């Protein structure tokens, strides 16, 4: 569990009742401070694959885009780098234009 500002880790188990953290990374899973992960006002939106440089502010997000709060089964990253590479090859996509995180 990590607070983006200031940059510091929150010990496992202390995150549930705290609102001073933003993201949690555990293996392939990504959590936000929302829903079952914490009491914060976090959430995530699927921006699709590729060209992430175009997103520079929350104001650019589509107004009707669905935000998702954490559940025990949602809001996590499922592809390993190996899985992503296989996906790129299968769909004949450029590795440089579609980096894995």
| pTM for the model | 0.55
26-84 tens-digit pLDDT: 666 778 888 888 888 888 887 777 677 888 888 888 888 888 888 766 555 455 677 77
44 phi/psi in degrees, rounded to 5: -140, 155
Neighbours of 47 (CB within 10 A): 14
| Per-residue model confidence (pLDDT) at position 93 | 92
| 3-class secondary-structure state, position 23 | strand
Nearest-CA neighbor of 44 among 13, 76, 18, 72? 76
- Counting the structural domains of the chain, the total is 1
Q: Which domain holds residue 41?
A: 1-101
Q: To 5 degrees, how large is the angle CA 59–CA 62–CA 65? A: 125
| Per-residue model confidence (pLDDT) at position 82 | 75
């Amino acid at each position: 569990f990590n607070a983006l500002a200031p940059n510091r880790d929150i010990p496992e188990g202390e995150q549930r009742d705290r609102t001073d953290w933003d993201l949690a990374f555990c293996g392939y899973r990504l959590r936000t401070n929302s829903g079952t992960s914490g009491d914060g006002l976090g959430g995530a939106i699927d921006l699709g694959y590729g060209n992430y440089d175009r997103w520079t502010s929350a104001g650019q997000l589509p107004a009707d885009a669905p935000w998702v709060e954490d559940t025990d089964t949602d809001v996590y990253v499922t592809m390993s780098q190996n899985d992503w590479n296989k996906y790129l090859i299968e769909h004949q996509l450029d590795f440089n234009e579609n980096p894995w995180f």
